[in-house]
């Protein structure tokens, strides 16, 4: 049975100041999440991005074309009610970071991973004082408790909106370090995405591009770039260091 999508009923979407931030109004009525939570955004810039999504809807409302609205809904309906649990889950990636698991062959791939990933681990050590160890193959690489704790601290310092976007930066890349690099503008976001795809790029060079895999990768890349854009529209990010 098909589900009917709601149709546009408003003439104007605009931003208004509200207690604790900014809200989006549709003909004066505030937007709410699917759980009926009032959508209060931390910055005007984020509220404007969401208002533009609502204003762009024609005929039936299409959530697929409203990524900023969806992420804000996740921040309010999901992250806000389990902030510590979400932060802890993401911080655990510090113990299993993609950049720490290296190929054992061929030599060319080993060298490429080292050339591209070692500088990122060096950067994490410089910024957070967290030196992560690396290992070959899929066997677990034990990390120092102190290093993992130092990477966890700034994750827990994020607000609900930052954490909702950071969730996707970590989950899509498989790397806490690369997610931090994206959040802190360590380099251009497209280059950070490429760093998360070193193994896949190598395979494509050897065996050619699989169209279905390439389509999925393009979708994930778009989601990764969106998460970065959402994060940037939130409040400025503090590392949360002591």
Domains recognised in the chain with CATH numbers: 13-66 (3.30.2180.10), 83-233 (1.10.3580.10)
Q: Is the dihedral of CA 91, 92, 94, 96 positive or negative?
A: negative
pLDDT at 5: 67
β partners of residue 15: 24
The CA distance from 177 to 170, in Å, is 8
**pLDDT score for 62:** 86
The dihedral region occupied by 174, where left means phi > 0, alpha psi between -120 and 50, and beta the remainder, is: left
Contact 176, 156 (CB under 8 A): no
Q: Alpha carbon 44 to chain centroid distance?
A: 20
10-residue stretch averages of pLDDT, the chain, 242 residues long: 66 93 94 95 97 91 92 98 98 96 96 98 97 93 96 96 98 98 97 98 93 95 98 83 44
pLDDT of amino acid 1: 40
Give the whole-angstrom CA distance, residue 22 versus residue 15. Answer: 7
Neighbours of 228 (CB within 10 A): 22
Q: What is the pLDDT of residue 186?
A: 96
CA separation for the pair 153, 88 (Å, rounded):
10
Give every CB contact of residue 29 below 8 A, 6+ residues apart in sequence. 10
């Amino acid at each position: 049975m098909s589900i009917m999508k709601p149709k546009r009923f408003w003439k104007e979407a605009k931003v208004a100041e509200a207690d604790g931030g900014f809200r989006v109004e549709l003909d004066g009525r505030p937007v709410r999440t699917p759980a009926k939570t009032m959508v209060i955004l931390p910055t005007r810039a984020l509220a404007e991005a969401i208002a533009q999504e609502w204003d762009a809807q024609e005929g039936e409302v299409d959530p697929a074309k409203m990524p900023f609205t969806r992420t804000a809904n996740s921040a309010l309906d999901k992250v806000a009610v389990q902030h510590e649990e979400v932060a802890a889950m993401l911080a655990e990636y510090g113990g299993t970071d993609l950049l720490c698991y290296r190929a054992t062959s061929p030599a060319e791939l080993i060298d490429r991973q080292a050339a591209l990933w070692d500088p990122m681990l060096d950067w994490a050590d410089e910024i957070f004082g967290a030196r992560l160890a690396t290992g070959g193959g899929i066997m677990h690489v034990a990390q120092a408790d102190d290093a993992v704790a130092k990477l966890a601290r700034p994750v827990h310092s994020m607000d609900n909106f930052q954490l909702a976007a950071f969730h996707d930066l970590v989950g899509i890349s498989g790397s806490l370090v690369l997610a931090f690099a994206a959040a802190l503008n360590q380099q251009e976001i497209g280059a950070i995405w490429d760093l998360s795809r070193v193994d896949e790029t190598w395979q494509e060079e050897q065996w050619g591009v699989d169209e279905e895999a390439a389509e999925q990768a393009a979708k994930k890349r778009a989601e990764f770039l969106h998460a970065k854009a959402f994060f940037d529209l939130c409040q400025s990010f503090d590392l949360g260091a002591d």
